Amino acid sequence: MIAGRLSRYFGGRFLSALLSIFIGGFCLVALIDYIELVRRSSDAPNSSALISAAISLTRIPQLMEILMPFAVLVGAMMCYLNLSRRLELVIARAAGVSAWQFITPALFVAFMFGVFATTAYNPGAAYLKEQSKRLEVKYIGGSQQTSLQSTGGGFWISQKNAAGQAIINAVTSSDQGVQLGGVTVLIYDHENHFRERIEAKAATLTGGFWRLQGVQRYTLNEPPIISPEYMLATNLTVEQVRESFATPDTVSFWNLPFFIEKAERAGLAAAGYRLQYQKLLSRPALLVTMVLVAAAFSLRFFRFGGVQNMVLCGVTTGFVLYVLSKITDDLSKAELLHPIAAAWLPIVIGTLTGLLPLLYQEDG
């Protein structure tokens, strides 16, 4: 009975610390992103403070997925340091409660939080990210490159048909590449001679055509032609467009198997989708790893001193694991490392990093 109450108490303390860090980080990131978006969209005629707030709030949930492991790490460290500072851990140990007994509730809470983040939070965040892209294309017109969009010239794709070759560049992409914003099309003939440049505010892929809106056409030795709409023929399929324009992090966890199957049937690389799927599957284990790392560096009693150095080591370890995960992600996307290994290798290393010091400290 007492052990059950202690487990619920320690689990509740960790959950409250985790939620406070996560919500605080959400508000801070939203404020920074909103200020930056207002600055970047100040010249857009259809933009307003309310529209900028809507765009920012709908894309922040996905950004918080990246910061979620850090929220668990910092929340766990804050929880255990507060328990130690208030001598609650000392009393628990004096009552015969081992460190594993007050770590286990946090491990369970972190695992369930990871399951919720994968199965419910991720689909919602992916949907909201698509909505933010649509709002941005509609009200800002894709003329501004935001901090959360692709850099290095936006999105590119090339197509060939009976008329020649067309190179399409878009500043923004939504609906998995079916809708584009800030579009520029360079058209060449079969002998690679430049024929025409088309600029459009938006483009939509519809049944063998790109429907361009707000079009300005520039040809050699002729004045520009302005038209509200222009149909550009294409032989690209939705799967091919998605492979070029869609990013795996905008696809819901439940839809990733479908995207993987479609990409493979079309003969396209699905490494990015496979990696994202494995990363989402491994997220509960990743959050459990963060609790182990936090416990290894924050269970030291205040009276022993050196708490600041231990906290710094814990934060540094979390950052190193993040860098390692980015390296394995890049290797997997380049098809140099299997997606399963890329997703689980940082977790295995992090688990050993947190588990071995705990075994040494608690079990000698």
β-pairing, 209-219 with 225-233? antiparallel
Q: Within a domain: residue 197? A: yes
Q: Based on the domain organization, do 15 and 39 belong to the same domain?
A: yes
Residues 19 and 104 in one domain: yes
Average pLDDT, the chain: 83
- The total domain count for the chain is 2
Token look-up 């800030």 returns 182
Asked whether 29 and 135 are in contact (CB, 8 A), the reply is no
Pick the last residue of a domain from 228, 246, 264: 246
Q: Which residue has the higher pLDDT, 303 or 342?
A: 342
- What are the tokens at 274? 């496979």
Is 70 exceeded by the pLDDT of residue 75?
yes
Question: Quick check: is 312 in a domain?
Answer: yes
- pLDDT the model gives residue 229: 92
Which of 315, 325, 326, 314 lies closest to 357, judged by CA? 314
Which of 104, 131, 110, 73 lies closest to 3, judged by CA?
104
Which comes out higher in pLDDT, residue 153 or 117? 117
Residues 200 and 327 in one domain: no
pLDDT tens digits, one per residue of 254-266? 988 887 887 676 5
298 in a structural domain:
yes
pLDDT (mean) for 226-245: 79
Look at residue 20 and give its three-state secondary structure.
Answer: helix
Residue 136 has pLDDT above 80, yes or no: no
User: Same domain, yes or no, for 239 and 212?
Assistant: yes
Residue 148: its pLDDT value, please?
Answer: 30
Q: Which domain holds residue 171?
A: 155-246
- Stretch 100-120: mean pLDDT, rounded? 93
Gap between the terminal Cα atoms of the chain: 28
Are 211 and 183 a contacting pair, CB within 8 Å? no
Residue 262 lies in a domain: no
Instruction: Note whether residue 260 is domain-resident.
Output: no
Residues 193 and 224 in one domain: yes
Q: Report if residue 259 sits inside a domain.
A: no
Quote the pLDDT of residue 145. Answer: 36
Tell me, yes or no, if the pTM score tops 0.95: no
Residues 193 and 217 in one domain: yes
Question: Is 80 in contact with 294 (CB distance < 8 Å)?
Answer: yes
Quick one: pLDDT at residue 146?
33
3-state helix, strand, coil in the chain (%, to 5): 65, 15, 20
Q: How far apart are CA 115 and CA 109, in angstroms?
A: 10
Q: Are 170 and 200 in contact (CB under 8 A)?
A: no
* Tens digits of residue pLDDT in 168-201: 888 877 777 788 888 999 998 888 888 899 999 8
Residue 263 lies in a domain: no
Please give the average per-residue pLDDT across 48-59, as a whole number.
87
Q: Do residue 139 and residue 162 come from a single domain?
A: no
What string of DSSP letters covers 293-349? HHHHHH-S-GGG--HHHHHHHHHHHHHHHHHHHHHHHHHHHTTSS-HHHHHHHHHHH
Domain boundary among 212, 228, 246: 246
Pairwise pLDDT comparison (91 vs 265), residue with the higher score:
91
Q: Is the same domain home to 131 and 19?
A: yes
d(CA 70, CA 74): 6
Burial of 155 (0-12, 13-18, 19+ CB in 10 A): buried
- Is there a single domain that holds both residue 54 and residue 91? yes
Q: How confident is the model at residue 106 (pLDDT cuts 50, 70, 90)?
A: very high
- 291 located within any domain: yes
* CATH code, domain with 179: 2.60.450.10
**Cβ distance 10 to 76 under 8 Å?**
no
> Last residue of some domain: 212, 246, 280?
246
The verdict on 300 and 344 lying in the same domain is yes
- Assess whether 190 and 215 both reside in one domain: yes
Do 103 and 189 have their domain in common? no
CA 75/CA 72 separation, integer angstroms: 5
